């Protein structure tokens, strides 16, 4: 039990963060849901925001309950990578990136501005990678071919 306690704690807090963020997208749609997705420049925000919220709620709950942790981590990795690309890469570059612009009220750009603004996202990213590795889920193509 002692060996797995640190990762159990990581799974619980990551699950709580994503579960809460998913619920908040429904509770505050103007600030965190469809309106925010539209402001960021994401396509079909009225459909995408509730879908992402559902993924965050389901996968966050799975992490908390330690069921399907590997699959949950893969889903949440796609969410967090998309968040980094759409909201944090413009800060790193100091200019818009593709259809995505620097968020309002961003005080600093460049590497230090990026690290400051992305600190939670990066913590979630690395925590999800640790959860995925610990889960034993294989995502390589060669392993799926070997099972056939």
Asked if residue 100 has pLDDT above 90, the reply is no
Estimate to the nearest angstrom the gap between the alpha carbon of 148 and the chain centroid. Answer: 32
The answer to whether the beta carbons of residues 51 and 78 sit under 8 Å apart is: no
Q: Which domain holds residue 123?
A: 5-147
pTM: 0.85
Burial 34-54 (b: 16+ CB within 10 A, else e): bebbeebebeebeebbbebbe
pLDDT of 140: 67
Asked if residue 145 has pLDDT above 80, the reply is no
37-79: pLDDT as tens digits = 998 889 999 999 999 999 999 999 999 999 999 999 999 999 9
* Neighbouring C-alpha atoms within 13 Å toward the C-beta of 33: 17
* Residue 53 to residues 20, 33, 92, 144, Cα–Cα distance (Å): 9, 8, 26, 30
Averaged pLDDT score across all residues of the chain: 90
42-51: pLDDT as tens digits = 999 999 999 9
**98 in the Ramachandran plot: left (φ > 0), alpha (ψ -120 to 50) or beta?**
left
Tokens linked to 76: 């949440």
104-115: pLDDT as tens digits = 788 899 999 999
What's the number of domains the chain is made of? 1
78-88: pLDDT as tens digits = 999 999 999 99
Determine the Cα angle at 117 with ends 114 and 119, to 5°. Answer: 95
**Closest C-alpha to 18, from 99, 112, 83, 111:** 83
**Looking at residue 104, what DSSP letter applies?**
T
């Amino acid at each position: 039990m002692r060996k797995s306690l640190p990762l159990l704690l990581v799974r619980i807090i990551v699950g709580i963060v994503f579960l809460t963020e998913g619920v908040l997208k429904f509770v505050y749609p103007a600030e965190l849901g469809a309106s925010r997705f539209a402001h960021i420049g994401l396509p079909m925000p009225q459909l995408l925001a509730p879908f992402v919220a559902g993924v965050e709620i389901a996968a966050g709950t799975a992490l908390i309950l330690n069921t399907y942790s590997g699959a949950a981590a893969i889903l949440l990795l796609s969410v967090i990578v998309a968040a980094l690309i759409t909201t944090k890469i413009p800060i790193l570059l100091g200019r818009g990136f593709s259809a995505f612009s620097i968020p309002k009220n961003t005080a600093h750009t460049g590497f230090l501005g990026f690290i400051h603004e992305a600190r939670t996202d990066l913590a979630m990213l690395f925590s999800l990678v640790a959860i995925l590795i610990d889960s034993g889920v294989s995502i390589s193509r060669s392993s799926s071919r070997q099972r056939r």
